[in-house]
């Protein structure tokens, strides 16, 4: 990518498929990665960090195919500061119309101690690896990991080395979410003023949200002169997550009066990709999440509702339509036909073929028989619960639960495992516990339940329940989701969905098990 950038333009670098997927339990399948990359490309993301090619064969294949399919975005792969990583990364992105290698090394005292490199040894490593990367591609991004805790003089020194070695973008990561907005702006500004050659490259900012300041820090960095923001959809990422794409993009759009910079993001596509990332990652979006949360455009206070009825601008600083929310949410019912369902799906951002519509319509009718009205959120939940079932190793066929005050709950499950129908009955402390025990009897496993969460999709006693289950087994973490008007059925399906994701993560099914057992010492 050229470094000649209009001064008021901010590049959006999305790392949902790399840093976002590193969030514990957020594993995506190969096809899911391709789908999300396609959506990012369509919405106008400038650079897509498609993965960490050296991490696994699956990551390499995903980055390679995304590179080949990309139409507009720069496709970037991540590489540690060694030739093996960089060569693998170059091979993965080579078919992209606009390939980029992003190489990094930790420069703070804490991070230098891990590979046991002196300042001079690390400086030499940076020169050699950035030079090597630039010999392979024209577009090289370099990051001093934990930059915000690196000594000032040394940070300036290594950035100058990276620029002279051929880096075209210098990314300044706040790796542990330690900095504050004033510091973020000041750091970028001082680096641009101090480091020789800084005016010839693009400075980027990569902020984590450990103190809840990622968005503020990223926008402050732009104020200081950064012209690339690294972010993820829904703020997905390790620990408390990364800068949320939707937040910085909409902040720049809504408050352009005081932040006179712009992006090329089509904001009307935000809500759809937010929902897709939530679905494929298994991470639900909190109700009060800015921009994309369920309550982001909801008004319950009487004063707020009165103001909204008289003038929407009294309590809305942006329109729901700006982020891709339909202006209306008219419910469907059991008498609604295929045409109405297809129109609703299109309004929600789903494009489906005729065969897929037939399958969805059957499940829609089943839901409509149980619910008087089927709202937008019900349709979205319906789409989520029906995805990837045919490729699952484990599938729920039927279940029956007996519970009450008279004794322990009992669950009888019939499951299809590798094409074989099996059944089991188990008792437990409540219907959900009994259902989970029946699943374990049919598919023995040592997975530890880390999270069990239930929330209603819509209102009323006939509302669908969306259940999230997070499992951990031997260091592998996977999250499953499902929705159903029967909370126990949704719970069992979410548990099975999480098990299926664990199976993929262990590499027992499909390609590209995610084995991110990579260490700092490998970079030496």
N- to C-terminal Cα separation, the chain: 29
Confidence at residue 466, expressed as pLDDT on a 0 to 100 scale: 86
Domain ranges of the chain: 11-281, 297-325, 326-387, 390-506
pLDDT digits 0-9 by tens, 255-296:
999 999 999 999 999 999 999 999 888 788 988 999 999 888
Strand 99-106 vs strand 140-145: parallel, antiparallel, or unpaired? parallel
Distance CA 401, CA 391 (A): 26
**Which ranges in 199-258 belong to alpha helices (H)?**
214-224, 245-254
pLDDT of 379 reads 83
Helix (H, G, I), strand (E, B) or coil at 476: strand
SS3 226: coil
Q: Can you give the three-state secondary structure of 315-348, one letter per residue?
A: CCCCCHHHHCCCCCCCCECCCCCHHHHHHHHHHC
Using one digit for the tens of pLDDT, what is the confidence trace for 297-345?
874 434 333 443 444 555 468 999 999 886 555 678 888 888 888 888 8
pLDDT of 450 reads 92
| DSSP code, position 406 | S
Regions in the chain scoring below 70 on pLDDT: 1-5, 299-316, 326-330, 384-391, 507-524
- Find, among 157, 88, 161, the residue nearest to 126 by Cα: 161
Return the DSSP state at 464: P
Separation between Cα atoms, residue 144 and residue 169, nearest integer Å: 12
In whole angstroms, give the CA distance from residue 115 to residue 330: 59
* Per-residue pLDDT, 313: 52
Q: In what order do the strands lie in the sheet with 394-402?
A: 394-402, 409-417, 420-428
Q: What is the DSSP track for 159-197?
A: HHHHHHHT-SEEEEEETTS---HHHHHHHHHHHHHHSTT
* 3-class secondary structure, 404: coil
Binding residues: 19, 206, 208, 242
Q: Give the helix ranges, DSSP H, for 402-486.
A: 431-442
The C-alpha atoms of residue 243 and residue 63 are separated, in whole angstroms, by 22
The backbone torsions φ and ψ at residue 64, rounded to the nearest 5 degrees and listed phi first, read -60, -45
- Assign residue 474 a region: left if phi > 0, alpha if psi is -120 to 50, beta otherwise? left
The domain defined by 390-506 carries CATH number 3.40.50.2300: no
* DSSP type of residue 18: I
Say which CATH architecture domain 11-281 belongs to. Answer: Alpha-Beta Barrel (3.20)
Q: Quote the tokens at residue 275.
A: 């929902």
- Give binding residues for Mn(2+) as ranges: 19, 206, 208, 242
Task: Give the model's pLDDT for residue 517.
Answer: 44
* Helix, strand or coil, per DSSP, at residue 138: coil
Assign 178 to helix, strand or coil. Answer: coil
Residue 212's CB: how many other CB atoms inside 10 A? 10
390-506: same fold as 11-281?
no
Alpha helix positions (H), 415-470: 431-442
b/e 447-470 (16+ beta carbons within 10 angstroms → b): beeeeeeeeebbeeeebbbbbbbb
Reported as a single tens digit per residue, the pLDDT across 393-436 is 899 999 999 998 878 999 999 999 988 999 999 999 999 999 99
Smallest Cα–Cα separation from 417: which of 442, 440, 438, 434?
A: 442
């Amino acid at each position: 990518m050229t470094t000649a950038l209009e001064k008021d333009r901010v590049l959006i670098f999305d790392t949902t498929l790399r840093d976002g997927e590193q969030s514990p339990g957020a594993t995506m399948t190969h096809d899911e990665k391709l789908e999300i990359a396609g959506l990012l490309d369509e919405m106008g993301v400038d650079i897509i960090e498609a993965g960490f090619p050296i991490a696994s064969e699956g990551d390499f294949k995903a980055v390679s195919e995304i590179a080949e399919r990309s139409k507009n975005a720069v496709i970037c792969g991540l590489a540690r500061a060694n030739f093996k990583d960089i060569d693998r990364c170059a091979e993965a992105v080579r078919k992209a119309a606009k390939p980029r290698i992003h190489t990094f090394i930790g420069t703070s005292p804490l991070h230098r101690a891990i590979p046991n490199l002196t300042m001079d040894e690390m400086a030499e490593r940076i020169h050699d690896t950035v030079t090597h990367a630039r010999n392979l591609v024209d577009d090289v991004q370099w990051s001093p990991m934990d930059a915000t805790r690196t000594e000032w003089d040394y940070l300036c020194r290594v950035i100058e080395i990276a620029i002279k070695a051929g880096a075209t973008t210098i990314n300044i990561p706040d790796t542990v979410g330690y900095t504050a907005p004033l510091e973020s702006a000041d750091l970028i500004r001082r680096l641009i003023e101090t480091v020789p050659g800084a005016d010839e490259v693009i400075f980027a900012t990569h902020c984590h949200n450990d103190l809840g300041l990622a968005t503020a820090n990223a926008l402050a960095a732009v104020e200081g002169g950064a012209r690339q923001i690294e972010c993820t959809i829904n703020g997905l990422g390790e620990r408390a997550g990364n800068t949320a794409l939707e937040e910085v993009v909409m902040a720049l759009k809504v408050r352009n009066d005081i932040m006179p910079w712009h992006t090329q993001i089509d904001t009307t596509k935000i809500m759809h990709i937010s929902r897709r990332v939530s679905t494929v990652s298994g991470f639900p979006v909190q109700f009060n999440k800015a921009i994309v949360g369920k309550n982001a455009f909801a008004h319950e206070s009487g004063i707020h509702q009165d103001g909204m009825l008289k003038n929407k601008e009294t309590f809305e600083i942006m329109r729901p339509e700006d982020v891709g929310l339909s202006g209306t949410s008219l419910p469907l019912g059991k008498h609604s036909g295929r045409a109405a369902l297809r129109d609703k799906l299109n309004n929600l951002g789903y494009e489906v073929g005729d065969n897929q519509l037939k399958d969805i319509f059957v499940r829609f009718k089943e839901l409509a028989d149980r619910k008087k009205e089927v709202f937008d959120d019900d349709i979205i939940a319906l789409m989520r619960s029906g995805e990837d079932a045919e490729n699952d190793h484990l599938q729920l066929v039927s279940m029956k639960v007996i519970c009450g005050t008279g004794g322990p709950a009992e669950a009888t499950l019939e499951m299809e495992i590798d094409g074989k129908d099996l059944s089991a009955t188990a008792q437990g402390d409540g219907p959900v516990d009994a259902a989970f025990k029946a699943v374990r009897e049919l598919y023995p496993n040592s997975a530890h339940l880390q999270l069990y969460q239930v929330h209603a999709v819509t209102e009323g006693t006939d509302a669908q329940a969306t259940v999230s289950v997070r499992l951990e087994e031997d260091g592998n973490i996977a999250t499953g989701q499902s929705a159903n008007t029967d909370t126990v059925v949704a719970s069992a399906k979410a548990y099975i969905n999480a098990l299926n994701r664990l199976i993929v993560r262990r590499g027992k099914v499909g390609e590209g098990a995610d084995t991110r057992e990579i260490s700092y010492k490998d970079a030496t």
